Amino acid sequence: MSNPRFHRRCSLLVLFALLAACVEIPPFEDPVPSTTTDAGTFQDAGVADQQAPQLLTTAPASGSTRVPTDSAFLLTFSEPVQTASLQVSFSPPAALAAPIWEEGHTQVTIKPESSLAEDTTYTVTIQGVDLAGNSLGGVDSFSFTTTGTQPDTTPPSILSTTPTHGSIGIERKPTVKVTFSEPMDKASTEAAISFTTPSGFTPGEFSWNATSTEVSFSSNSEFAHGVSVAWRVANTARDTAGNTLSTDTSKNFRTIRLNTAIINFDPGTSGSLSAPSYFRQTNFYNNAWVGDDSGANIDRLFFGFQLDVLPEDLTRVISSRLKWPVSMIIGDPFSKFGALLLEPVDVGDIIELSFGDSNPATKADYNAVALAPAAVVSLSDKPLRGDFDVTAWTIQDWGNRNLRNKRTQYRLRFEAPNNADQVKDQVYSDSYDNPVLATLWVTYEYP
């Protein structure tokens, strides 16, 4: 049965072809490659390490009081330290036993050879270099006061919290850690901790370190994306001597945010390409298809997307879906050619044009090596469209975005080759029904 809409399309295509033959179509210029540095990536091979190591944590924490005189001290560094370079000194002086290294020379335990003096404030200074010879930078000392025979009448204080006050991009069910200046009464301290906003959240199970100076907890369930979370420790929290905190302490942080970017196809790397003619007159999208024509050509369909709309500081791609609205199915391609296959490819910044004599670069684009095994995909019936999960491939291309010039590209093809039966069998789209060939829906988390 004749299809009037199809004949109307064919008439429009013939008219466009005649007009195109009379009009000189200007060439498309390649986009300027991105020069944005990928913050947070590992150093390139062969680049010397010039980053100073940092003293990340100390146990006890700086400012601690009532520290037992026979305590061992744990230092944690940001990177491995040359063991022979480590110098630790106490003021007032204290003789130290040999250090004990752990965690790939990023943690060291220091213990005085004899008990420290009671009711005394000590300052510990640390020096050392990393494996590349960079000296320790930032804070390289801490102080504490030992316990003694005098009654404890000093109120405890909060030395630090994790996450820090005002932090952003925190996971939705974070572990909150509070470090106190001295050992705390667990029951009163746990009762003093609460989440104040949003409502309905309470601390879950508490855990303490061996000296009862550090407590960790999390919310009873996940917070929403992008919500401001406030929590506090009331001044009813007591140390083991019964002294309460001087004041309430309130802190806040914001959880990681969620967004979905809808990215339109890139005409320069999208559209149909046929073999063995490799004919591609323009990068302008008017129609596109996958299957075969009524001759000997085997048609493949390419989809390209530029990822430069995604923020550099995104922390995780949650999902990525390629959505392709289809105008019609011509003939019977699925019965003749088998499964429809989708695969990631790299055709560079543009699919090269090719006129009468095939351009070798166009042929190379058509035969671009798949970057991963092809996935069998299907079309939905109502409406007629493709909706393909390309999350893993988009994640890979985003991870290699400097090398890929922030592009992700895909190719559709049928499993079997052309059957040369002189009947057109295609899955077909045109701009009459679908002005946008395809879109990529990327859902991601960011600070």
Structure confidence by residue, pLDDT tens digits, 177-232: 999 999 999 999 999 999 999 999 999 999 999 999 999 999 999 999 999 999 99
Q: How far is CA 197 from CA 168, 200, 202, in A?
A: 16, 8, 10
Beta-bridged to residue 277, according to DSSP, are none
Which of 11-25, 33-47, 406-420 has the lowest average pLDDT? Answer: 11-25
**203/221 Cα distance (integer angstroms):** 9
Alpha helices for 137-280 (secondary structure H): 186-192
Both 175 and 205 in a single domain?
Answer: yes
Structural domain ending residue among the three candidates 146, 181, 211: 146
Task: Measure the CA–CA gap between 280 and 356, rounded to whole angstroms.
Answer: 9
Enter the tokens of residue 132. Answer: 């590349």
Tell me how many degrees the CA angle 72-73-79 measures, rounded to the nearest 5: 140
The SS3 assignment for 216 reads strand
Alpha-carbon distance of 240 to 254, in angstroms, equals: 33
Q: Which residue has the tokens 């890139």?
A: 266
Cβ neighbours of 119 (radius 10 Å): 13
Q: Does a structural domain hold residue 321?
A: yes
Pair 133, 177 in one domain: no
Calpha distance 326→388 (Å, rounded) = 13
Q: Using one digit for the tens of pLDDT, what is the confidence trace for 334-377?
A: 999 999 999 999 999 999 999 877 799 999 999 999 999 999 99
In a domain, 120, yes or no: yes
pLDDT over 80 at 155, yes or no: yes
Q: List the Cα angle 59/60/61 in 5-degree steps.
A: 95
- CATH number for the domain harbouring residue 104: 2.60.40.1220
Does residue 286 lie in a domain region? yes
pLDDT at 47: 65
Both 142 and 193 in one domain: the answer is: no
User: Are 309 and 379 contained in the same domain?
Assistant: yes
Decide if pLDDT at 253 tops 50: yes
Mean local confidence (pLDDT), 392-413: 97
| pLDDT confidence band for 141 (50 / 70 / 90) | very high
Q: Are strands 167-170 and 249-255 parallel, antiparallel or unpaired?
A: parallel
Contact partners, residue 186, CB within 8 Å, separation at least 6: 206, 208, 212, 215
Strand partners for 414? 340
Question: 378 and 425 in one domain?
Answer: yes
Q: Which residues pair with 108 in a beta bridge?
A: 75, 101
Residues 76 and 211 in one domain: no
Spell out where 157-197 has E strands: 158-162, 167-170, 175-180, 193-197
The single residue listed with the structure tokens 């500081």 is 313
C-alpha–C-alpha distance, residues 56 and 107, integer Å = 10
Q: Has residue 12 been placed in a domain? A: no
- The total of structural domains in the chain comes to 3
Q: Are residues 173 and 121 in the same domain?
A: no
Which DSSP category does 256 fall into? P
Instruction: Please indicate, yes or no, whether residues 82 and 230 belong to a single structural domain of this protein.
Output: no
Unique residue bearing structure tokens 């960011």: 446
Q: Where are the alpha helices (DSSP H) in 342-422?
A: 360-366, 391-399
In terms of residue numbers, what domain contains 123?
Answer: 55-146
Confidence of residue 4 (pLDDT cuts 50, 70, 90): very low
Q: Are 307 and 407 found together in one domain?
A: yes
pLDDT tens digits along 17-35: 333 333 232 332 333 333 3
Q: With bands split at pLDDT 50, 70 and 90, how would you rate the model's confidence at 46?
A: low
What percent of the chain is predicted at pLDDT more than 90?
Answer: 83
Place 14 in a pLDDT band, splitting at 50, 70 and 90.
very low
326 and 440 together in one domain: yes
- Is 50 exceeded by the pLDDT of residue 9? no
CA nearest 232: which of 221, 222, 247? 247
Residue 430, beta-bridge partner list: 287
Q: Got the DSSP string for 25-84?
A: PPPPPPPPPP----TTPPPPTT----PPPBEEEEESPTTEEEE-TT--EEEEESS-B-GG
CA–CA distance, 199 with 223 (Å, rounded to integer): 10
Instruction: Name the pLDDT band for 447 (thresholds 50, 70, 90).
Output: very high
